[in-house]
Amino acid sequence: MSETQKIQQGNAVADAQEVLKKFDKEANFRIYTGFFAKVIAAIAISFSAFQLYTAIFGVLDAMIQRSIHLSFGLVLIYLLYPTSKKWSHTKLNPIDAVLAVLGALAPMYIVVNYQKLVLRAGTATPLDIVFGVIGILLVLEAARRVVGIPMVVIAGVFIIYAFVGPYIPGKLAHRGANFETLVQHLYFTTEGVFGIPLGVSSTFIFLFILFGAFLERTGLGQLFIDLANAVAGWAAGGPAKVAVLSSALMGTVSGSSVANVVGTGSFTIPMMKRLGYKPEFAGAVEATASTGGQLMPPIMGAAAFLMAEFTNIPYARIIGAAAVPAILYYFGVWAGVHFEAKKSGLRGLSREELPKLKQIVVERGHLIIPLVAIIYLLVTGFTPMKAALWAIILSILSSWLKKSTRIPPIEIIRGLEAGARAALGVLAATACAGIIIGVVTLTGLGLKLGSILVDLAGGHLVPTLFFTMITSLILGMGVPTTANYVITSTIAAPAVIMLLSKQAGLDPYSVAPANIILPAHMFAFYFGIIADVTPPVALAAFAGAGIAKANPMKTGINATKLAVAAFLVPYIFVLNPQMLLFNIDFVGFIWMLITSLVGIIAVASAVNAWFLTTTRWYERILGFVGGLLLIDPGLTTDFIGIGLVGIMLLTQLARKRKQPARV
């Protein structure tokens, strides 16, 4: 890399940090020095120590574990994140200090009075209600500071719905809840703030985030980028393919699409622009690839753990089911990048500019040991907590295998602090999501909305899937991954579950089997996540545009085109659950993979106006329609789809032969 390129790279990293602060509220924290910096570090390290202690010696009773977890989190959020952007980001405001104290006391009220609260379950004292109201308001404000306004607005609408239910006409009506009942339900049971989402945050998710913090210190992120460069940097449109591959690898441990855009995009986007990609396309490639990281096992942006708890399906089964759809998603992005590179005549980087694969593996290949180990442990039956615990230990030990990668002791301490800080966004999101879940369980809203969507679609599957897709896209706008899954699985997924149950001859209001529940939850989750690259609120695309110095809306449109596979794959696995490894017939599974791949390539070529050469309007129609028909698992639609794609291929071959070879 030349000196000029190094300067450009440094500027890109600086720009990336500004973009992160703009689009990721978790990055807008105070930066203390001196005494206050040590206080924050001590609290954060104590937080991580508590989580490690319970992981080693056993989790406490649900309410106690979750209350202590929330207490630590609220204290750090109010100390680190100012009430207003205009307030000092280097000094603590007295109001935030008071809120931090209340943030510690409100959850600890449950810990101190746990036995009394259990004995008088269902009967709240005035003091209970006071602390309950304070706790709920503190959770909402913490979510506003760290997660953003959309999450708080949704939770606020749900709280209002709990009160006005008797006055709403039609199917959304319910008997309503009085103030005391709602506060007690939301704050003093495991159905609200301290429900499953926060429970998962206080156990599995925190440890995986801590694992990610230690991996970052070992230099695994840079290793992924170097590996991707060595493997794909020389190919047509090399840097764009590097972005896809490195983001897929980062997605295995990353919990945020925006953070992933900034982390890998500060390297890949300048490379793409230097090669000749338009800024809008360069930003879109990184945004689409990074967003796909939330769909990539084993972590799936921490949603995999929530999904296991919500569906009662083993975690190992969920990450196994998620593997094929995630691979198909990245295959679609790769195809779009390839077609754009061919259309624009963009070449890869020279071999001299690229790192050598053998050298990378020899010097730093051992850093991948903890990632391989955690997947092995999860597959062989270890609980996620134990797997994450061992992975944290192995991340430190593997770095010590070579002097060049060795983590000094001080970095271990800093890793504990960084892990606690990184967990705050998930903590705030899951606590706030618990409010939404609490209202749903109190009012039965999930089934009501599901029934409405099914009726709106006339009881037909594909229209129901379409309306669920739109609902999930809207609900996912501007919401982080964990909260995204909680909201979409609660509001949108029930419609798909109800209709699939009816079609299977089951009671739509009873507990559905796994081959119905998991496709429905995955369907809603996919479209909630893909909202990050779908305008008008496409945070990942806008972050990519910020680094690329591109038009945000054009970047979002390009990202949507590249993510076309994400709009197809969920329909495939609902219509044919073999993709999620249910009821596998070997021949049928292979046929499904082939038709899915052909369909994704055909649609990607139609969207990008290139296959073997520039596609004409009728070829784009043939490719697009043929690709869509290949989504349906029926043999008739498959053969028609293959026929249409075959015609497009023949016309492309005929014109390709007549064209002079490109230099």
Task: Give tens-digit pLDDT for 117-169.
Answer: 988 877 889 999 999 999 999 999 999 998 888 889 989 999 999 999 888 88
Confidence of residue 20 (pLDDT cuts 50, 70, 90): low
Q: Give the position of tokens 């690259």.
A: 533
The residue from 120, 149, 178 where one domain ends is: 149
pLDDT at residue 663 in the model? 46
The residue from 103, 134, 149 where one domain ends is: 149
Residue predicted with more confidence, 239 or 526 = 526
Cα–Cα distance, 130 to 486 (Å, whole number): 27
Q: Is 396 within the bounds of a domain?
A: no
Q: Is 644 within the bounds of a domain?
A: yes
Which tens digits make up the pLDDT trace of 46-68?
A: 999 999 999 999 999 999 999 99
Q: Is 266 within the bounds of a domain?
A: no
Mean pLDDT of 274-286: 85
Q: How many residues in total does the chain contain?
A: 663
Cα–Cα distance, 468 to 173 (Å, whole number): 21
Q: Is 67 within the bounds of a domain?
A: yes
| Mean pLDDT value across the chain | 86
Residue 374, pLDDT > 90, answer no
Q: Is 469 within the bounds of a domain?
A: no
Q: Which residues contact 23 (CB under 8 A, 6 or more apart)?
A: 258, 539, 542, 543, 546
Which ranges of 293-423 would DSSP assign to H, the alpha helix?
303-311, 315-344, 357-364, 369-379, 384-399, 409-422
Is residue 578 within 8 Å of 584, Cβ to Cβ? yes
Euclidean distance between the first and final Cα of the chain, in Å? 26
Residue 6, pLDDT > 60, answer no
Residue 179, pLDDT > 90, answer yes
Which tens digits make up the pLDDT trace of 438-473?
A: 998 888 888 788 888 888 888 888 899 999 999 999
Range of the domain at 592: 585-663
Q: Is the dihedral of CA 316, 317, 318, 320 positive or negative?
A: positive
Q: Is 71 within the bounds of a domain?
A: yes
Is residue 279 within 8 Å of 547, Cβ to Cβ? no
Residue 633, pLDDT > 80, answer no
Mean pLDDT of 601-618: 89
Amino acid at 642: I
The residue from 149, 166, 187 where one domain ends is: 149
Residue 563, pLDDT > 50, answer yes
Residue 107, pLDDT > 90, answer yes
Q: Is 21 within the bounds of a domain?
A: yes
* Highest mean pLDDT, choosing among 290-294, 382-386, 411-415: 411-415
Strand partners of residue 614: 610
Q: Is 275 within the bounds of a domain?
A: no
Q: Which of 332, 404, 319, 309 is nearest to 362 (CA)?
A: 404
Q: What share of the chain is helix, strand, coil (3-state, %, to 5)?
A: 80, 0, 20
Total domain count, the chain: 2
pLDDT at residue 403 in the model? 87
pTM of the model as a whole: 0.85
Which tens digits make up the pLDDT trace of 181-227?
A: 999 999 999 999 999 999 989 988 899 889 888 888 888 878 888 88
